[in-house]
Amino acid sequence: MNSKTMNEIRKKNQLDKESALQKVFELILMGVKVKNPELLHIRGKIICGKNVKIDLNVIIEGDVTLGDNVSIGANSILRDCKIGNGTIINPYSLLEGSVIGANCFVGPYGRIRPDVSVGDHVSIGNFVEIKNSNISSRCQINHLSFIGDSDLAEQVTIGAGVITCNHDGVGINRTIIEQEAYIGSGCNLVAPLKIKANATIASGSTITEDAAADTLSIARSRQVEIKNWKREKK
């Protein structure tokens, strides 16, 4: 590569950097609080409300809309998404093709995949992944859970480490969870499945049949205790 080509590449890179910084400074002039202008990467279009805060190393791609009082944590990626007023996106979260309501809490390390709609006042814990689902208002989805191809009504609680088993090896099936249902930690919900209103699923259960309203479902092996057991030694 000759010196002329190298100079042209340097010039283009400098122009690209200046153009990107110009977009950031336009946000700052509008009142957006950017932690470090050189570490906000705008690769698409962003619309911000009032009192928005954006931390270090955030990447914006596609069309992104942030409501009033939104906070975006460091090292997060937002791609083609809309985030409602007062919502906090904690560090290292990836959101794409989704709509997040007002006063929600996501992450850290939240993964919101395309075709997800989240209502208001929803808490999505660390290392939670959601895909192709509708999450109604005031739901709580705790850490290390996977919610895929599901419809959650209002005030559903999902314990830690819950998995909606949406793929049966041939096709994708949906899980429907009605209002105020409670899913204990470490459960597997094997779709297609419906959990009716105010049903409770005991922790550690693998649920393969619909759960009726106002019931407790337990689907796990009974604990067996063998006395005087001695482990083999190396």
Q: Give me the mean pLDDT over the 36-42 stretch.
A: 92
pLDDT at 111 (0 to 100) = 98
Residue with tokens 């030694």: 233
Calculated CA dihedral for residues 40, 46, 50, 51, nearest 10 degrees: -20
- Strand locations in 67-149, DSSP E? 71-72, 77-79, 82-83, 88-89, 94-96, 98-100, 105-106, 111-112, 116-118, 123-124, 129-131, 134-135, 140-141, 146-148
Question: Catalytic site residue 143?
Answer: yes
Q: Is residue 224 part of a domain?
A: no
Q: Is residue 233 part of a domain?
A: no
Q: Give me the mean pLDDT over the 50-63 stretch.
A: 97
CATH of the domain at 107: 2.160.10.10
Which of these ranges, 2-16, 58-72, 157-171, has the smallest mean pLDDT?
2-16
Q: Which of 41, 121, 143, 167 is catalytic?
A: 143
Q: Give me the mean pLDDT over the 154-165 stretch.
A: 98
Q: Evaluate the omega torsion of the peptide bond into residue 108 and state whether it is cis, within 30 degrees of 0.
A: yes
Q: Is residue 65 part of a domain?
A: yes
Q: Could you read off the pLDDT of 214-230 as tens digits, one per residue? A: 999 999 988 889 999 88
* Amino acid symbol at 35: K
Mean residue pLDDT of the chain comes to: 93
Q: Could you read off the pLDDT of 107-141 as tens digits, one per residue? A: 999 999 999 999 999 999 999 999 999 999 999 99
pLDDT at 223 (0 to 100) = 87
Q: Using the predicted structure, report yes or no on whether residue 14 has a pLDDT greater than 60.
A: no
DSSP string, 92-104: T-EEESEEE-TT-
Q: Is residue 59 part of a domain?
A: yes
Residue 206 belongs to what H/E stretch?
Answer: strand 206-207
pLDDT at 233 (0 to 100) = 82
Rg (CA), the chain: 23
Q: Is residue 227 part of a domain?
A: no
Q: Could you read off the pLDDT of 196-217 as tens digits, one per residue? A: 999 999 999 999 999 999 999 9
Q: Is residue 135 part of a domain?
A: yes
| 195, 210 contact by CB (below 8 A) | yes
Q: Is residue 231 part of a domain?
A: no
pLDDT at 95 (0 to 100) = 98
Q: Using the predicted structure, report yes or no on whether residue 11 has a pLDDT greater than 60.
A: no
| 146, 163 contact by CB (below 8 A) | yes
Q: Is residue 62 part of a domain?
A: yes
Please, which pLDDT band fits residue 10 given cuts at 50, 70 and 90?
low
User: d(Cα 125, Cα 157) in Å, to the nearest integer?
Assistant: 12
Q: Give me the mean pLDDT over the 20-26 stretch.
A: 85
pLDDT at 141 (0 to 100) = 98
What's the start-to-end Cα distance of the chain, in Å? 62
DSSP string, 30-55: TT-EES-GGGEEE-SEEEE-TT-EE-
Please, which pLDDT band fits residue 99 given cuts at 50, 70 and 90?
very high
Please, which pLDDT band fits residue 7 given cuts at 50, 70 and 90?
low
- CA-CA distances (angstroms) from residue 168 to 114, 158, 165, 192? 21, 22, 8, 9
Number of structural domains in the chain: 1
Please, which pLDDT band fits residue 18 given cuts at 50, 70 and 90?
low
Q: Structural domain of residue 131, as residue ranges? A: 3-217
